[in-house]
Amino acid sequence: MATPAVPADVPDPEALSEAFHVYEVEVTDEGVRYYGEPLTVRDEVVKRLAPTFRQAGYRVRMNYETGEFVLVATERSTSIDGVPWLNLLLFVVTAGTTLFAGAQWYGLPVRENPLLLVQAWPFAVSVLGVLAVHELGHYALSRHHEVQATLPYFIPIPNVLGTLGAVIRMKDNIPSREALFDIGVAGPLAGIAATVVVTAVGVSLDPIRVTEASLVTDLELGFPLLIQGIAALVGEPLHYSEPGLMVNPVLVGGWVGAFVTFLNLLPVGQLDGAHVARAVVGDHIDVVQRVVPLALFGLAGYLYAFADGRGAFLWLIWGFLSLVFGFAGNATTVDESPVGRKRQAVAVLTLLVGALCFVPVPIALTG
């Protein structure tokens, strides 16, 4: 049987013969599709062939479609092609929702005068800033390791923060556990740096006075040890005895940074903590991430029994989410060589910093 013809810049079917027998090739707008039979287990096929495709400027994945195995090769590009309209749109919308949320924290009557939204810009900048720095940490290390990744997608939502955070997507085969570690740890470390700065600024600013009609008067933020320590170093309080007086809303950006860092460092699924743990312990991540839901459910039960249920529902939700994330699978790498001691030490340091971002009751209703 004649070897199927392929474009000159993609691997020839014969170059794949050690792991995948190709009997048909199709060129589409998406890329090149190799139909055939795997000669080893499915995940191993991609691991063996990914370096060949990567060298040719392609990433590869395996699908099973209508009874056939298909290797789909798509051109790799770490540059930004054109204007990222969706990223920009989501950022603009999220800026709007965080401004509106900030107006609630400042007690601005925006329903009477929408132009007052602009006065909530310090809150919006603090929240969006820590989220952007976190995600750009991932993006920068993705570029460093030549792993194709998107710019951040911000998630707008009309809640008391105005957002559910931001994400980037890695659209590539990850070359090594070292690359996975660096990309995974870069976000939390960058986010912590931004959190420290925003927190120090926030506690240094004057407190604000809120009216009883403001939504945030019914909310109480729990400040983790990281924020408490920064406030102590600056010599500023986090709570005021005078009724109606509360910390400057810029500090909420620091609270968001700490909370997001802790959640992202949970070692489950595709969260940052799972990337770091997967890079360090390899396939033993399966054991690690089984413990996480149990710990979160246990925390929820403890708060329900001994803390009047404050915060219990939040950790119950995250317990279920961690189960879902775990079933979704973890990132895999082409080269499974273990990371060195320096990265292991950074992993321990990162997890310790993440622990400083934990507080049993992050947010609660006081009304």
Does any domain span residue 198?
yes
Q: Are residues 175 and 259 in the same domain?
A: yes
**Strand extents, DSSP E, 77-177:** 153-156, 163-167, 174-176
Q: Are residues 157 and 186 in the same domain?
A: yes
**Strand extents, DSSP E, 222-345:** 245-246, 333-335
The domain total for the chain is 2
Q: Are residues 119 and 264 in the same domain?
A: yes
pLDDT of residue 145: 94
pTM given for the model: 0.90
pLDDT of residue 141: 96
Does any domain span residue 281?
no
Rounded to an integer, what distance in angstroms lies between the CA atom of residue 247 and that of residue 258?
A: 16
From 75, 93, 113, give the residue that closes a domain.
Answer: 75
Does any domain span residue 68?
yes
Does any domain span residue 340?
no
CB atoms within 10 A of CB 117: 16
Q: Are residues 66 and 182 in the same domain?
A: no
Does any domain span residue 49?
yes
Q: Are residues 61 and 101 in the same domain?
A: no
CATH number, position 26: 3.90.1070
Q: Which domain holds residue 220?
A: 85-268+352-365
In sequence order, which ranges of 265-311 are alpha helices (DSSP H)?
272-281, 285-306
Does any domain span residue 337?
no
From 22, 49, 75, give the residue that closes a domain.
Answer: 75
Structure tokens at 38: 């795997």
- How much is the CA Rg of the chain, to the nearest whole Å? 24
Q: Are residues 177 and 58 in the same domain?
A: no
**Per-residue pLDDT in tens (0 to 9) along the chain, 367 residues:** 455 667 777 888 888 988 999 999 998 888 899 999 999 888 889 989 999 998 888 999 999 998 899 999 998 877 777 789 999 999 999 999 999 999 989 888 888 898 999 999 999 999 999 999 999 999 999 999 999 999 999 999 988 899 999 999 988 889 999 999 999 999 999 999 999 999 999 999 999 887 765 666 778 899 999 999 999 999 999 988 887 788 999 999 999 999 999 999 999 999 999 999 999 999 899 999 999 999 999 999 999 999 989 999 999 999 999 999 988 888 889 999 999 999 999 999 999 999 999 999 998 877 5
Does any domain span residue 154?
yes
Q: Are residues 219 and 91 in the same domain?
A: yes
Does any domain span residue 44?
yes
From 75, 98, 117, give the residue that closes a domain.
Answer: 75
pLDDT of residue 110: 86
Per-residue pLDDT tens over the stretch 204-243: 999 988 776 566 677 889 999 999 999 999 999 998 888 7
Q: Are residues 177 and 93 in the same domain?
A: yes
